[in-house]
Structure 1
């Protein structure tokens, strides 16, 4: 099996098809799972591992790029089902994997009890003796295939990305934005940043994108959703949009309807870019596919603005 063939994308089934990916990486009969979806996705991920012909006892590592629940919520159930796997997590995220009480409380506050039960029920703590801390530069040894963990804040302070030298590609979690395959056109992939609450920082995000691009990657695999190429073009698109999103947010500062104005501004920005990208019926498609992300991005930008005001 070639190195590229030894990477399997897993649709975790979170919310809708094509929204949230995990990746199964194989080397010499051993395997690592990168990101894992929410707790309610655990069985789907296990079924995909089985379907790939990978014995569960051959999975040595579960790497979570950050501890947002759509990336790490299934870690507890999966660690119990994968007897030899250890969890690799950013030092800022490790306490929340060992004791997810605050993560659960925060998710219930954001989503409400009903939505939490639908999408996130079943979260479990990860035993501390099966947790490995991934400081910047940590290398996960996967049977002769080193996976390098690099600190990439901007979306979250507890975020790392994973460099796979065998394929010259990154597993970038949410650092390299969102790119849904339904919005691909003849011009390639359509991409936008994700600024979800509560730790978005535009300067850090710019720097992390540049850090990924500095490796001259052949491709970047993102959680939402799949593998993208044309990395330099997409990085420029992300940089441009970060600046535009910050400007929209600053223009709304002090307004009584600040959140609504940010949502309106983001919707207009993404729709304009979608039209330029050749997406048919762009306004409706942006609302249909990106409506939830626009709301979350607006929340993250608002929290960032409040943090800037407090620091002034």
Structure 2
């Protein structure tokens, strides 16, 4: 059941990067990597607001521009809530908080210290991407003052104007991940727990296509299945994804998406276990994952998207999913 509250309508003209989704929810295209790839959300109710995910530091002009376009003062923002501390979700938190005098940053307890002191986040990403790519894609990381940073708790409720947001612990993609239930809209802000769905794969008749993300280094298939099940217990009618924007036409459509996610988590786990001792495991994982996703996209879209186009759109996700599965396999080998 969803609540009906009196919410102001969006202004007639908004920047192209700011998409009204109804119920006082706005998606902000952060311009990370490409258009329609990475979304931050602004939730507005009764003149108060909250940001959920921020994109990278480079998204700051668009985040602040969204407030300006909606006629909201910077001190109208009460919360900045990263779903988890991966940089495409939380790299912009520190710079944004510096511009919002009344906001509190609410992070998962496993990620809170990294939002206060992001040096370990920077070092870890630097080892993977290198200095040049880090500066280009993410920009400098800025910590949040400890006095303005709070750890979330499972089943915590926070208010934004007249609406309530409920946070739950959702491991599986990352152990520092929480998701937020918004009863007003009947949707979850899912970060990466409910997977990735790019608009290029939408089918006008069948709706969105979706796939899991096993980005390193904390992918855990059993935990991910349990987190998805916990969200589905609320019978959501939509899901607000970071990658990208809202999916789900109604409760039945969200059920379809959840079933597709679970089936692919099972398939990805089976692929990884079969290839655990392959001589060139990472390359083999990439080949098998791409073949899985191409087959699934063809089932959903038919011949509208050729395999080469699917491979181009999913190149980064195939690489990261293969890395994450490799880390998971290595963890299985360790005693205890």
Gaps of 5+ in 1: none
Instruction: Determine if contact 2:106/2:149 at 8 Å carries over to the other structure.
Output: yes
Paired with 2:213 and 2:107, the residues of 1 have a C-alpha distance of 20
Runs of 4+ aligned residues of structure 1 deviating over 2 Å after TM superposition are 1-5
Match of 2:324 among 268, 293, 300: 300
Match of 1:283 among 282, 307, 313: 307
Cα deviations by residue, 1:256-312 (Å, 9 ceiling, x for unpaired): 200000000000000111111124233122112111100000000000000011146
* Aligned alpha-carbon RMSD (Å): 1.2
Match of 2:228 among 193, 198, 209: 209
2:121 is aligned to 103
Instruction: Determine if contact 1:178/1:224 at 8 Å carries over to the other structure.
Output: yes
Q: How does 1:1-312 map to 2 (within 5 A)?
A: 2=7, 4-185=22-203, 186-229=205-248, 230-279=253-302, 280-311=304-335
Cα deviations by residue, 1:81-124 (Å, 9 ceiling, x for unpaired): 11111101000000000100000011111111111010112210
Instruction: Determine if contact 2:219/2:328 at 8 Å carries over to the other structure.
Output: yes
Paired with 1:42 and 1:311, the residues of 2 have a C-alpha distance of 44
Per the alignment, in what secondary structure is the counterpart of residue 278 of structure 1?
Answer: helix
- CA pair 262-43 structure 1, distance change in 2 beyond 3 A: same
Per the alignment, in what secondary structure is the counterpart of residue 15 of structure 1?
Answer: coil
Per the alignment, in what secondary structure is the counterpart of residue 301 of structure 2?
Answer: coil
Gaps of 5+ in 2: 1-5, 9-21
Instruction: Determine if contact 2:294/2:307 at 8 Å carries over to the other structure.
Output: yes
Paired with 1:220 and 1:281, the residues of 2 have a C-alpha distance of 24
Paired with 1:98 and 1:145, the residues of 2 have a C-alpha distance of 28
Q: TM-score, normalised by structure 2?
A: 0.91
Cα deviations by residue, 1:196-254 (Å, 9 ceiling, x for unpaired): 00000000000001111110001110100011111100000000000100111111111
Q: TM-score, normalised by structure 1?
A: 0.97
- CA pair 281-219 structure 1, distance change in 2 beyond 3 A: closer
Per the alignment, in what secondary structure is the counterpart of residue 61 of structure 1?
Answer: strand
Per the alignment, in what secondary structure is the counterpart of residue 81 of structure 1?
Answer: coil
Instruction: Determine if contact 2:83/2:178 at 8 Å carries over to the other structure.
Output: yes
